[in-house]
Chains A and B, each alone.
Chain A
């Protein structure tokens, strides 16, 4: 039987742990909300930019596509942008992303290069001896567009210089508070054809009864040049916000579990403490009773 003092100390330390994890849980909850809000604010730009992009790219007679939109016939290397977190204590969040990456590309026949966003992912990739060309860590929560546009720029540069022929984004999709799934998205070359149904709104514009014919100033290519890199950077930005929301949601769940476990443990220790205390009292009572009995016997004899 452990002595009562030891048990009391353990209970106290476990209660302290529960307090810390509960605080972390609250912090994570509010951070999820902030990331999701930031993500929502990027939506208007993304939607509009996509409309303009697909509209111009699908104009008839445009065979000489923008370099960021044209598929390469021969692929010989790919770049993966892997988004993880800087900190742990988020359950299996980071390992899930890395495991997903390895799974997706286990059959990939060409060399892979990596851009690591987040320290945890960088460490894991380093341990696996992957070729990392850049790392971005310690991003604020949530980051501004300017904080992360360099990542997209770097990807574009690698792609245009033909060091890689495809670029993929790997991040964790925020489905809801309890569900986050690792996801892969092709960043470059931009595939605009698959999503033709989203072009819709442009075709329905009419001007005084006639179908719209747009005026382009100075010309379509210049406009496309302006919008395509921005859109690419914005996709990276959105992926990072999505990943951050997921990270904090995962941490929130992990901390909730830790709090619950600590509370439970404290309760069962409390029970143990009560038993130990009761036992101590009982044995003390027995001692006293025994002593008193012995005394009364002596008195009778005397």
Chain B
């Protein structure tokens, strides 16, 4: 019996569908959720979550949030989530460079802009790393980047 999985961000439903197992970056460590899991509420870290169904895996980056687990469903609430296949490596690289340049210039920390840039850097790092690690070799834009 599969478990129903939903990934929801504030402005859209990123994924919904059946899964045999869902692996999540919980704040207390990685956790794998199988059908009939005990009810659970947990916070999530920045990271990659996996949804496996019939031996095929889909990967999603999640930018923190919380997850609610019930015996028959897993619901992830997050600020931003993205299917790894959707990640635009080039754009992420650019965002990363911009953030790094900004932080290198040594602006006063603790301002809103500083924190926003720091968060942006963290996000782009996560996306790039995820794309690098989990994407199939059929992605030409990435192969060029990696070599």
Contact = CB atoms under 8 A, between A and B. Distances in A.
Interface residues of B, number: 26
A220 to B, nearest CB: 8
A56 interface: yes
A133 interface: no
B43 A226 contact: yes
A49 B39 contact: no
B95 to A, nearest CB: 13
Given A41-B11, A45-B10, A215-B41, A52 B68 contact: yes
- What's the dominant secondary structure at chain B's contact region? strand
Contacts of B71: 205, 207-208
A44 B75 CA distance: 10
Given A227-B66, A227-B77, A216 B42 contact: yes
B38 A218 contact: no
A218 B28 contact: yes
Contacts, number: 83
B70 interface: yes
Contacts of A216: 40-42
B41 A52 contact: yes
Contacts of B40: 214-217
A195 B56 CA distance: 42
Nearest to A38: B11
A223 B69 CA distance: 14
A48 to B, nearest CB: 6
Interface in B1-56: 6, 8-13, 26-28, 36, 38-43
Interface of B: 6, 8-13, 26-28, 36, 38-43, 64-66, 68, 70-71, 75, 77, 79
Interface of A: 38, 41-42, 44-45, 48-49, 52, 56, 144-145, 205, 207-208, 212-218, 220, 222-223, 226-227, 230, 233-234, 237
